[in-house]
Amino acid sequence: MRILGVDPGLRRTGFGVIDVQGPRLTYVTSGTIVVPATIPLPQRLKVILDNLRQVAQETQPDVAAVEIVFMNVNPASTLLLGQARGAVLCALADSGLTVQEYTALQIKKSVVGAGRAAKEQVQLMVQRLLALDGVPAPDSADALACAICHAHFAPLSEKLGELNYQSRTSRGRSRVRAGRLLG
């Protein structure tokens, strides 16, 4: 199974791809989509959409895992971060990928063993778990950590999640309602 992990952000969106065979994890690639802060918001989101679709196209993952972003104390920042995350989820769904979401707590626990781990600890553990020659950069490390988290949860979530998911989708259907003119 190949997993694409993503750490969403409006300025920098980290991505990391790993292969999983039983208990064995193998590093495939990682990187950061750096978005210019000087262009209008719709185009900043388009940069994330286009580049992440290209990553998915080039690496052909089986599934994607995305960190559930934390809510900033500043509502304006929360709104911006939400829009960046929306672009990430659109890119992944548009690439035909099922997306699993994990909290920072789940990710840190499954990588470091503790929920309150520092950024440097995550980087070091990602390096160790993937047997890398050096410490990965912060954005890549967070994305790879998210992929590793899914590798740990996948055996369980695949059985539970699928059932759960099917029973939920059979109920909900989207529709486009034409503009009604009332009265």
Among 84, 104, 125, 148, binds a copy of itself (CB under 8 A): 84
Judged by CB under 8 A, the stretch of 18-26, 89-97, 110-118, 151-159 that binds a copy of itself is 89-97
Is residue 142 among the annotated active site residues?
Answer: no
Answer whether 100's CB lies under 8 Å from 1's CB.
no
> Is residue 162 at the binding interface for a copy of itself, with CB under 8 A as the rule?
no
> Is residue 158 at the binding interface for a copy of itself, with CB under 8 A as the rule?
no
∠ CA 136-98-177, rounded to 5°: 130
Assign 3-class secondary structure to 47-90: HHHHHHHHHHHHHCCCEEEEEECCCCCCHHHHHHHHHHHHHHHH
Among 21, 23, 131, 172, binds a copy of itself (CB under 8 A): 172
Among 26, 39, 105, 155, binds a copy of itself (CB under 8 A): 39
Among 35, 63, 107, 146, binds a copy of itself (CB under 8 A): 35
> Is residue 114 at the binding interface for a copy of itself, with CB under 8 A as the rule?
no
For residues 29, 137, 103 and 148, what is the CA-based torsion angle, rounded to 10 degrees?
A: 40
> Is residue 132 at the binding interface for a copy of itself, with CB under 8 A as the rule?
yes
User: Cβ closer to a copy of itself: 93 or 105?
Assistant: 93
Instruction: Give the DSSP letter of residue 132.
Output: -
CA distance 55 to 74: 31
Answer whether 25's CB lies under 8 Å from 127's CB.
no
Instruction: From the candidates 19, 58, 62, 67, give the one annotated as an active-site residue.
Output: 67
User: Cβ closer to a copy of itself: 21 or 169?
Assistant: 169
| Amino acid found at 67 | E
Among 1, 2, 19, 47, binds a copy of itself (CB under 8 A): 47
Neighbour count for residue 33 (Cβ, 10 Å): 23
> Is residue 157 at the binding interface for a copy of itself, with CB under 8 A as the rule?
no
**Catalytic sites, residue numbers:** 7, 67, 139
